[in-house]
Amino acid sequence: MSLAPVLSSAVPLSNGLQIPIFGLGTSHMGGYSHDAIVYALTECGVRHIDTAKRYGCEGKLAKAIRESGIPRSELWLTNKLWPEDYGYTTAKKACLDSCSQMGLQYFDLYLMHWPGSLRGGCSNREMRAETWRALEELYKEGVCRAIGVSNFLVHHLEQLQEDCSVVPHVNQVEYHPFQQPNQLIDYCRHKGIVFGGYSPLAKGQVLSNPTVLQIAEKYKRTPAQICICWSIQNGVVTIPKSTKEKRIKENCQAFEFQLEAADMLALGELHDGRHVSWDPTDVE
């Protein structure tokens, strides 16, 4: 049975588009499965796929999307620009190359992957501004229906708004019960920037937490479903990664129940500041 009706929840962007609140993430180093993508699209009703040039699976994704038979207009496809491709000319070319690799005319969302540059010649701030101007043009040209950033902190966002004209539509950051950047979330929402969260299961670390296990037992759900449900109930665009069909179905079923306020609060108290991915704190 398709889970599409419960997966249809979306969050409005500042430009009027609606981004599905739940998506399927991909990654490099074993983070891609053709069968899993096709299954998510055809059997689970997933319509939001998140990828990046860095993950090396753009061509594979194109094949899986074609095989699914889902019309392009029904999909939300997010891609990300790797810091080696920062800079005005390089960024525009990289985006168009990624479109070509995926057999697309446009991306629904295109993100700067990281606040730091892997190219020399100028400061990170100058490189971010130069790169963002390229994304602004791609947005105005319709190659990107929305543009945003990933792993940006408040000071990165403030500088970008001083240097450029289009406020990012999305900021995608690590988010799970152990890593809750609430000041950043509040800032984004105040500025009309939708907050997206990756690694909602803290790369598995949260699944053995006693509080999570206790809540999972209460609802007769899995720890993963509890964490995904918590993230979604907090209004965060949530993109768990999995290459296993069973896990994808399980993750989609996080829409089938709601956590009570006391349990939301208990999970909210698990923040300890740990990162399971990159930490952008020291990026100027």
CB 7 within 8 Å of CB 252: yes
Q: Is residue 273 part of a domain?
A: no
119 near 127, Cβ under 8 Å?
yes
State the binding site for substrate. Answer: 113
User: What is the domain extent for residue 262?
Assistant: 4-268
Please check whether residue 20 lies inside any domain of the structure.
yes
Do 148 and 50 touch, CB atoms closer than 8 A?
no
Task: Provide the annotated active-site residues.
Answer: 55
In a domain, 79, yes or no: yes
Is residue 117, in this structure, part of any structural domain at all?
yes
Residue 94's CATH number? 3.20.20.100
The count of structural domains within the chain is 1
Q: Cα(38)–Cα(51) distance, rounded to whole angstroms? A: 15
Residue 92 lies in a domain: yes
- Determine, yes or no, domain membership for 11: yes
Identify whether 274 is part of a domain: no
Give domain status of residue 164, yes or no.
yes
- Binding positions: 113
pTM, two decimal places? 0.95
* pLDDT tens across the length of the chain (284 residues): 444 335 679 999 999 999 999 999 998 776 789 999 999 999 999 999 999 999 999 999 999 999 999 999 999 999 999 999 999 999 999 999 999 999 999 999 999 999 998 877 789 999 999 999 999 999 999 999 999 999 999 999 999 999 999 999 999 999 999 999 999 999 999 999 999 999 999 999 999 999 999 999 999 999 999 999 999 999 999 999 999 999 999 999 999 999 999 999 999 999 999 999 989 999 99
Amino acid at position 66, single letter: R
Question: Residue 170 class from Cβ within 10 Å (0-12 exposed, 13-18 middle, 19+ buried)?
Answer: buried
